[in-house]
Structure 1
Amino acid sequence: MGPSSSSGPGPSPPEPLPRSAPPRSIGYWLLGSGTLVFGIVVLGGLTRLTESGLSIVEWNLIKGMKPPRSSEEWEEEFDKYKQFPEYKILNHHMELEDFKNIFYMEWAHRMWGRGIGMAFLLPAAYYAYRGHLKGALGRRVLAIGGLIGFQGALGWYMVKSGLDEALGTTPNAVPRVSQYRLAAHLGSAFAIYAGMLYTGWDILRSRRAIPASSTTTVSAMKKVMALRTPATGLAALIFVTAMSGAFVAGLDAGLLYDTFPLMGDRLVPPKDEIWSENYTHEGSSLKWPNLFENPTTVQFNHRVLATTTFTGISALYFYARRLPLPVPARRAMQALMGVACLQVSLGIGTLIYGVPIALAAAHQAGSLVLLTAALRLTHTLKRFSKKG
């Protein structure tokens, strides 16, 4: 970036800090809570990849916090697991020691979720008591808290779909959670995470003295501010792409075609494979269920969305390079482009190497890092307007 023209007005003086701004500690608390949510998304991915999510077949908020201790308790827990389709169909050769491994993975996932609830609820109650959670901030915190409670209920609703005993009597059935519920569970976690980060950033920004403008001309500022609309659109597209990835995971669709960019020997699978009659609902000729239930179509959709997302980020990056971006916005744009390149590499690697656990978990984590980078860019651009 070359030096800006000196013909425009100079930087405005720092804005005064709002007198009623909430304490900075609230911002750090929300960002810390967001970090915990990031962790549980990664742990949840590992739980799914190791097929541990159906190992605990009951939901007890308090009693479930204590894992089995004695041999008798372990045998009792294992016997409960044996009553459900995953054991009967897939894991009937499993020994107790193997069961302990998947049990502890799911138990850790549930305990982390409880920890997030406490880490959010207790400080929220304290700040509310001190009168710091008023107006828009109070409504945001209340909404995030409501989502956390909803997320816990949704998690058990998701697990129940994989415990359906009818799966054990259905020919060729594979015990797995509903891909619809999995996507809803992941989407809710993303929403909680985004709400925590954006609110935390808003609070810390409100307490910081920032020049009203880091650009030197009104026309340059308008061009910079215009970036916020496509950046917000890209953040939404990243979210949708991540949710399509949840459908890929839920149907194990990543194992179907392990080549890129071709699917088999062509870019687009045959029409009768994408719009298969096998996925039309009984009594209906509509083929739209293929979009969410046909593994071939689901993988194809994810490829298209991921390619579109990467193309959009690249286009915005190269366009933004021509603008006199303020330093924070330029760094955010560079971070978004860098994470996008890494995420595409992880996605292709996960595919061609047959969905190894390490790469697949990194790819899921990468989707949340990419969303973080996009949100950071939109929030950074939000800081710059004609009045700062």
Structure 2
Amino acid sequence: MPASILGLAIRPRLCHGFRAAQGFTAFQYPRGFKSLLGGVPKARLALKPAVVPSFLSRRCYSVAAQKKSAVMRALEPRFFSANSFHAAAQASPLPVLAPPAVGRWLLFSSALVFAVIVVGGVTRLTESGLSITEWKPITGIMPPLSSEDWNIEFEKYKATPEFKLLNHSITLDEFKNIFYMEWGHRVLGRLIGITFVVPLLYFGLRKKLTTSMPLQLSGMAVLIGVQGFLGWYMVKSGLEDSIMDTPGAVPRVSQYRLAAHLGTAVVLYAGMLGTGLAAIKDWKYARGGPWSGSSTMLWHDVTSNPLVRKFTRRSWALTGLVFLTALSGAFVAGLDAGLLYNEFPLMGGRLAPPTSELFSPAYAKSADGSDIWWRNLFENPTTVQFDHRVLAMTTYFSTCLLYLQSRRGALRAALPPLARVSVTAAFAMANVQVLLGLATLLYLVPVPVAAAHQAGSIALLSTMVHLLVSLRRPGIAAQLWRKAGVQTHKAKP
């Protein structure tokens, strides 16, 4: 075999040729050259030093390495091709980057949570939540199928305080309507659990999640289970017989438990939405896409800008204010406080009710009256509505100020395009939400308008979550993948 062919076909196992003391040098030839070497079945070829000249032993490694590098460049798929992205991840020490399927799954899950929040609001507005008197996580997925089953459920409902005090003249057909509303709400909650936990296990076992995702998503899965327990804990408060012993009491669920149930759902929704948006944006950025809608801005320059950092802190504060306002709405719904003072901006001809009404001693339960402040804040319908009004208007004007700030020359030039779009959407949604709130109040809480008002609060929160995601720096995995992609393109001839 000519020495030139041998030098291209084989490469030494040792870095600098053979060792004379051993009497031979071990060479390893790549796959595909078996026929060139005469069909030798072994993976190694032992050659005497006399067979391989000294100049070949010194040069064969570098020549073979150059040949291998050229072959690998010719056969290697492009870094940003759709089929080679995760193949490159498995062949390199780069961290795992969640694929778009993970982001789309999280966005779908957040949409289901959004739907269950709206359905839960309608269930509360139609007073359907107490129609199912038992909690059966497994067997409760099936509604009554026969007349006998319906009669059994109806008899259970007749034993509740709500039937005895409010709905004692309800018919079986009317009972079916409120039963199906509550049943649909519960089934949707179970569907969320299944559509979240099963894909989570799949993506986790296939190692499609970034380093921080398993803990975050596992926490969300636990929160779904807690949410189901809170739902039953809330319903149970409206089924207690002690309501019958309280003069003038109205069968309703505890406003504290209702707020906890809604608050947990909102936190779950925001977590799913934010994580899903971040996963999709990180994937696009890692594949060479623009950061936050800009192909010229560098994220580290933007996020380190003092004006942008101050704007980000204010955005976080406004997001918390939106959440707090939505939570106060749960107390309004739980106490039916929306049916008081159906006028705006006045309350009984005044900007605020009298102090004696806002902090009535009748709501204090301790002998020294030390709990008069916090009990009126959470149990007095007049105070609860007043607090919700104050929080709503504070949220609205804060959103207006944040929008106006984003329009200023210096900050406008520093903000990425998606952040400007998000803050504009938040301002527009805040205006819609104020109009829905006023319509709910002035028209004595009609079900469609009130349900739209609750959905509007979640929509406003969604715009704020998107604003925060558009201002975040890419994940570590996305940064490393982007850097590796740039280096790969620079190394190509």
TM-score by length of 2: 0.73
Structure 2 match to 1:8: none
Matches within 5 A, 1:295-334: 295-322=381-408, 323-324=412-413, 325-334=415-424
Deviation per CA, 1:39-68: give whole Å up to 9, x if none: 000000000000000000000111111111
Matches within 5 A, 1:292-371: 292-322=378-408, 323-324=412-413, 325-371=415-461
8 Å CA contact 1:252–1:295 kept in 2: the answer is: yes
Deviation per CA, 1:325-359: give whole Å up to 9, x if none: 32211110110000000001100110001000011
Distance 2:463 2:402 in 1: 14
Structure 2 match to 1:6: none
Matches within 5 A, 1:1-388: 20-133=96-209, 135-209=211-285, 210-211=289-290, 214-215=296-297, 221-286=305-370, 287-288=372-373, 289-322=375-408, 323-324=412-413, 325-383=415-473
Unpaired segments of 5 or more residues in structure 2? Answer: 1-79, 483-493
- Percent of residue pairs bearing the same amino acid type: 51
Distance 2:236 2:95 in 1: 50
After TM superposition, which residue ranges in structure 1, 4 or more long, deviate above 6 angstroms? none
8 Å CA contact 2:318–2:395 kept in 1: the answer is: yes
Distance 2:432 2:445 in 1: 16
8 Å CA contact 1:225–1:381 kept in 2: the answer is: no
Deviation per CA, 1:278-335: give whole Å up to 9, x if none: 1111324121210000000000000000011111110110111012232211110110
> Letter of the aligned partner of 2:148 in structure 1?
E
8 Å CA contact 2:98–2:208 kept in 1: the answer is: yes
Distance 2:309 2:425 in 1: 18
Deviation at 1:132, TM superposition (A): 2.6
Distance 1:246 1:262 in 2: 22
Identify the structure with bigger relative contact order (alpha carbons < 8 Å, sequence gap 6+): 1
Unpaired segments of 5 or more residues in structure 1? Answer: 1-13
Secondary structure of the corresponding residue to residue 393 of structure 2 = helix
8 Å CA contact 1:40–1:112 kept in 2: the answer is: yes
Deviation per CA, 1:179-224: give whole Å up to 9, x if none: 0000000000001101101111121121112446755996994423
Deviation at 1:19, TM superposition (A): 5.3
Deviation at 1:383, TM superposition (A): 4.0
> Letter of the aligned partner of 1:298 in structure 2?
V
Distance 2:140 2:366 in 1: 40
> Letter of the aligned partner of 1:303 in structure 2?
R
Deviation at 1:378, TM superposition (A): 1.1
Distance 1:280 1:170 in 2: 16
TM-score by length of 1: 0.92
Distance 2:247 2:316 in 1: 45
8 Å CA contact 1:215–1:221 kept in 2: the answer is: no
After TM superposition, the structure 1 stretch with the greater mean CA deviation from structure 2, 237-246 or 284-293, is: 284-293
